[in-house]
Amino acid sequence: MKITPKRLKFGLNLWFPFRFTGIKVLVIKDDWTYAKVRLKRSWYNQNAVGTHYGGSLFSMTDPFYMLMAFYQIGKDYIVWDKKAEIKFIKATKKDVFAEYHLPQETLDEWKQQLKTQDKIEPVFEVDIKDAEGNMIAKVWKTLYIANKSK
C-alpha cells in the first residue's frame, strides 16, 4: 500500500504522541510540498503556569520535514532527522500553528549537490505562531540526506 499525504495525515492524527497531546495535522499537500499543524492547549498538555508545555511545542515540529523530504526525494536517497533545536519566545494559552514548506526546486538542488557530495545536512527554520501571527517559538530542524549509491 502506497503512502499518500491523505493517509499519512490520517495516521499521524491517530498516532498517540499527537492525538493525546493536542497536535493535529491540518494539511499535507498532495505533492508533499506543504504541511500545516495545530497544537490546541488543554488541561493535559499545559505546563505548571497554564501555558503550552514546551515538549508539545517541540513535538509538533518533529517529523514533518523528514517525512516530506523522504516522500518527495525518492528511494535512491537516505533521509533522517539529525538535529533539532528550539527557542521559546513567548508563552501563550492560545492554539498555535506551524507551517512547513519544501518546494520541488529545493529537492532538485539537493540532488545536484549529492552528485558531488556524500551527504548534505540542510537546516529548516520553523516558526510556531498563534492565530494572530504572534511568534511563540522557533525551531531549527537539521536533516541528514545521502545518496544510497555512494
Give the model confidence (pLDDT) of 36-55 as tens digits.
999 998 888 888 998 989 99
Give the model confidence (pLDDT) of 73-115 as tens digits.
988 999 999 999 999 999 999 999 999 999 999 999 999 999 9
Q: How confident is the model over 7-35, as a mean pLDDT?
A: 95
CA separation for the pair 131, 138 (Å, rounded):
15
CA separation for the pair 92, 135 (Å, rounded):
10
Residue 1: band (very low, low, confident or very high) from pLDDT cuts 50, 70, 90: low
Contact 25/13 with Cβ under 8 angstroms?
yes
Q: What pLDDT is stored for residue 42 in this prediction?
A: 86
Residue 141: band (very low, low, confident or very high) from pLDDT cuts 50, 70, 90: very high
Chain centroid, CA 131 distance in Å? 18
Q: What pLDDT is stored for residue 142 in this prediction?
A: 98
Q: What radius of gyration, in Å, describes the C-alpha atoms of the chain? A: 16
Cα torsion for 61, 63, 64, 67, to the nearest 10°? 170
Is 80 exceeded by the pLDDT of residue 150?
no
